[in-house]
Structure 1
Amino acid sequence: MGRRAELPPGIESDLRLVGRRIRHERRARRLTLAELASAVGSSPSHLSQVENGRRQPTLRLLAAIAAAFRLSADELLRPEPPSRRAALEIAVEEAQAEPMYRALGLPPLRPGRRVPTAALEHISGLYDALRRRSERSASTPEEARTANRQLRDEMREQGNYFPAVEAHAARILDAVGYGGTGALSQRVLLDIAAHCGFRLRYMRDLPRSVRSVADLRNRRIYLTQGSWTGGHDTRSVLLQTLATFVLGHGTPAGFADYLRRRTEANYFAAAVLVPERAAVPLLRHAKEDRSLAVEDVRDVFSVSYEMAAHRFTNLATRHLDLPVHFVRTDEDGRIHKAYENDGVVFPADADGAIEGQRVCRQWAARRVFRSARSYPGLEQYTDTPTGTYWCSSRDVGEGFAVTVGVPFRESKWFRGRETTERRTSRCPDPSCCARPPADLAARWDRLAWPSARAQSHVLAVLPPGVFPGVDLTEVYEFLDRHAADAGDP
Structure 2
Amino acid sequence: MTSQQISPGRVDTAGEESEVAGDALTLGRRIRARRTRLGMTLEQLAAAVDRAPSQLSAIENGRREPRLPLLRSLAQALGSTVDELLLDEAPDERAALEIAVERAQRGAVFRTLGIPPIRVSKATSDDTLRTVLGLHREVERLHGERAATPEEARRANTELRAQMRVAGNYFADLEREAVALLESVGYAGGPVSQQVISSIAERLGFSLHYVSDLPHSTRSVIDRRNGRVYLGSGLPSRDARAPILRALASLVCGHEEPRSYGDFLRQRVEANYLAGAVLLPEASAVDLLSEAKRQRQISMEDLRDAFAVSYEMAAHRFTNLATERLGLQVHFMKAHESGTLIKAYENDGVRFPSDALGNLEGSTVCRNWTARTVFGQPDRFNPWYQYTDMASGGTYWCTSRVEKAKEGLYSVSVGVRFEDVRWFRGRETHHRTRSNCPDERCCRRASDDLAGKWQGAAWPEAATPTSLLAALPTGTFPGVDAHEVYEFLEAHELGR
Q: Structure 1 length normalisation: TM-score? A: 0.73
Structure with more relative contact order (C-alpha pairs < 8 Å, separation 6 or more): 1
What aligned pairs does 1:275-290 form with structure 2 within 5 A after superposition? Answer: 275-290=281-296
Structure 1 window deviating more from structure 2 (435-444 vs 382-391): it is: 435-444
Partner of 1:446: 456
Q: After superposition, give the CA deviation of every residue in 1:225-251 in whole Å (9 maximum; x if it has no partner).
A: 22132xxx3111111111111111112
1:438 deviates by 2.3
1:303 counterpart = 2:294: no
1:455 corresponds to which letter in structure 2?
P
1:476 counterpart = 2:482: no
1:392 corresponds to which letter in structure 2?
T
Match of 1:259 among 262, 265, 272: 265
1:132 deviates by 4.5
1:185 counterpart = 2:101: no
1:192 corresponds to which letter in structure 2?
I
1:106 counterpart = 2:22: yes
What aligned pairs does 1:335-374 form with structure 2 within 5 A after superposition? Answer: 335-374=341-380
1:479 deviates by 1.0
Change (3 A) 1:371 1:136: same
2:395 corresponds to which letter in structure 1?
T
Partner of 1:397: 404
1:411 counterpart = 2:421: yes
1:402 deviates by 0.3
Change (3 A) 1:373 1:204: closer
2:271 corresponds to which letter in structure 1?
A
- What secondary structure is seen at the aligned counterpart in 2 of 1:197? coil
CA distance in 2, matches of 1:412, 1:284: 14
1:120 deviates by 12
1:119 deviates by 9.2
Q: After superposition, give the CA deviation of every residue in 1:77-105 in whole Å (9 maximum; x if it has no partner).
A: xxxxxxxxxxxxxxxxxx989xxxxxx95
What aligned pairs does 1:18-167 form with structure 2 within 5 A after superposition? Answer: 105-107=21-23, 132-137=141-146, 139-167=148-176
Change (3 A) 1:106 1:439: same
**In percent, how many aligned pairs have the same letter?**
49
1:134 deviates by 4.4
Structure 1 window deviating more from structure 2 (469-478 vs 453-462): it is: 453-462
Q: After superposition, give the CA deviation of every residue in 1:314-334 in whole Å (9 maximum; x if it has no partner).
A: 001111111111000011111
CA distance in 2, matches of 1:140, 1:469: 12
What aligned pairs does 1:167-246 form with structure 2 within 5 A after superposition? Answer: 167-180=176-189, 182-225=190-233, 226-229=235-238, 233-246=239-252
Gaps of 5+ in 2: 7-19, 28-85, 101-129
CA distance in 2, matches of 1:275, 1:150: 28
CA distance in 2, matches of 1:189, 1:156: 30
1:121 deviates by 10
**8 Å contact kept, 1:138–1:462:** no
**8 Å contact kept, 1:138–1:465:** no
Partner of 1:323: 329
What aligned pairs does 1:266-277 form with structure 2 within 5 A after superposition? Answer: 266-277=272-283
1:202 deviates by 1.3
CA distance in 2, matches of 1:337, 1:292: 22
1:373 deviates by 4.2
Q: After superposition, give the CA deviation of every residue in 1:403-438 in whole Å (9 maximum; x if it has no partner).
A: 001111111111111111111111122210231122
1:437 corresponds to which letter in structure 2?
S
**8 Å contact kept, 2:341–2:362:** yes
Change (3 A) 1:246 1:120: farther
CA distance in 1, matches of 2:137, 2:385: 55
CA distance in 1, matches of 2:433, 2:315: 23
**8 Å contact kept, 1:138–1:463:** no
CA distance in 2, matches of 1:119, 1:479: 38
**8 Å contact kept, 2:354–2:360:** yes
1:446 deviates by 2.0
CA distance in 2, matches of 1:461, 1:280: 42
**8 Å contact kept, 2:388–2:433:** yes
**8 Å contact kept, 1:365–1:402:** yes
Q: After superposition, give the CA deviation of every residue in 1:251-283 in whole Å (9 maximum; x if it has no partner).
A: 212101111111111101111111101100000
Change (3 A) 1:295 1:105: farther
- What secondary structure is seen at the aligned counterpart in 1 of 2:480? coil
Q: After superposition, give the CA deviation of every residue in 1:151-191 in whole Å (9 maximum; x if it has no partner).
A: 111111111111111111111112122131x2111221111
Structure 1 window deviating more from structure 2 (184-193 vs 129-138): it is: 129-138
**8 Å contact kept, 1:327–1:336:** yes
**8 Å contact kept, 1:378–1:392:** yes
Partner of 1:85: none
2:451 corresponds to which letter in structure 1?
A
1:485 deviates by 3.8
CA distance in 2, matches of 1:252, 1:344: 32
CA distance in 2, matches of 1:279, 1:173: 14
2:415 corresponds to which letter in structure 1?
G
1:375 deviates by 3.3
CA distance in 2, matches of 1:462, 1:121: 37
Gaps of 5+ in 1: 1-53, 55-94, 98-103
**8 Å contact kept, 1:396–1:402:** yes
1:374 deviates by 4.4
CA distance in 1, matches of 2:410, 2:399: 14
2:331 corresponds to which letter in structure 1?
H
Change (3 A) 1:448 1:114: closer
2:381 corresponds to which letter in structure 1?
Y
**8 Å contact kept, 1:183–1:300:** yes
1:376 deviates by 2.2
1:113 deviates by 8.8
2:22 corresponds to which letter in structure 1?
L
2:202 corresponds to which letter in structure 1?
A
**8 Å contact kept, 1:393–1:402:** yes
Structure number with greater Rg is 2
**8 Å contact kept, 2:147–2:260:** no
Change (3 A) 1:117 1:391: farther
What aligned pairs does 1:3-22 form with structure 2 within 5 A after superposition? Answer: none
- What secondary structure is seen at the aligned counterpart in 2 of 1:266? helix
CA distance in 1, matches of 2:94, 2:432: 72
1:118 deviates by 7.2
CA distance in 1, matches of 2:255, 2:196: 23
2:196 corresponds to which letter in structure 1?
V
